[in-house]
């Protein structure tokens, strides 16, 4: 039994943990008020992974979610107490060789008093949009605007 490599980051109302296991099957994620339990079988070698995390603070297990992709299992842990910063994921201050901070998504949110959408809502939205082709920007009307630039003459049609 191995520990899966994971990255995590903190937001105002949620903590996000991504277990980096490709081609995972038999994924089980259990959310407890103070614990996260993850297990799966993954990779070409069908390795069994299991991670148990005693969390820094309490979460709301009913509002926490996870999503499996071909590359990883992404967990959104809804904080029981929104607005409280988590300096680390774990209760005990220990260095876990399988856990690292996701610096690409890390953000000092404590200074931002007006996040337009809570990260939990963004996560839910992302889950609904994953894999869809509907997330492309709407291009209708993009070239309808007339430019006030005098040297923009209408180009003749190509023959």
SS3 119: helix
Q: What is the pLDDT of residues 23-74, one digit of tens each?
A: 999 999 999 999 999 999 997 788 999 999 999 999 999 999 999 999 999 9
The CATH number for 65's domain is: 2.60.40.790
Determine, yes or no, domain membership for 159.
Answer: no
- Tell whether the model's pLDDT for residue 1 goes beyond 80: yes
Least confident of 37-41, 129-133, 153-157: 129-133
Tell me the residue range of the domain where 54 lies: 1-93
115 lies in some domain: no
| Domain presence at residue 119 | no
| Contacts of residue 124, Cβ cutoff 8 Å, sequence gap at least 6 | 65
Residue 156 has pLDDT above 90, yes or no: no
Q: Which two three-digit tokens encode residue 69?
A: 């992709």
Stronger pLDDT, 32 or 156, i.e. the higher one: 32
CA 86 vs CA 36, 137, 140: distances in Å: 15, 35, 43
Structural contact between residues 29 and 6, judged by C-beta atoms closer than 8 angstroms: no
Residue-level pLDDT at 78: 97
Q: Give the bridge partners for 55, in sequence order.
A: 90
Q: Is 121 inside any structural domain?
A: no
Confirm whether 145 is domain-assigned. Answer: no
In a domain, 156, yes or no: no
> How many domains does the chain contain in total?
1
38 domain-assigned: yes
Global pTM value: 0.70
Q: What is the pLDDT of residue 144?
A: 46
Residue 67 lies in a domain: yes
């Amino acid at each position: 039994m191995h520990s899966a490599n994971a990255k995590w980051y903190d937001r105002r109302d949620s903590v996000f943990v991504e277990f980096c296991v490709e081609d995972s099957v038999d994924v089980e994620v259990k959310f407890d008020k103070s614990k996260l339990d993850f297990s799966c079988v993954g990779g070409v070698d069908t390795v069994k992974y299991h991670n148990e995390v005693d969390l820094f603070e309490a979460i709301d297990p009913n509002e926490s979610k996870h999503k499996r992709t071909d590359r990883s299992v992404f967990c959104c842990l809804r904080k029981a107490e929104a607005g409280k910063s988590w300096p680390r994921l774990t209760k005990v201050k220990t260095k876990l060789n399988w856990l690292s901070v996701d610096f690409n998504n890390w953000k000092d949110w404590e200074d931002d008093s007006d996040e337009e959408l809570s990260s939990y809502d963004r996560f839910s939205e992302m889950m609904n949009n994953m894999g869809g082709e509907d997330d492309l920007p709407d291009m209708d009307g993009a070239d309808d605007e007339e430019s006030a630039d005098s040297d923009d003459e209408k180009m003749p049609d190509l023959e």
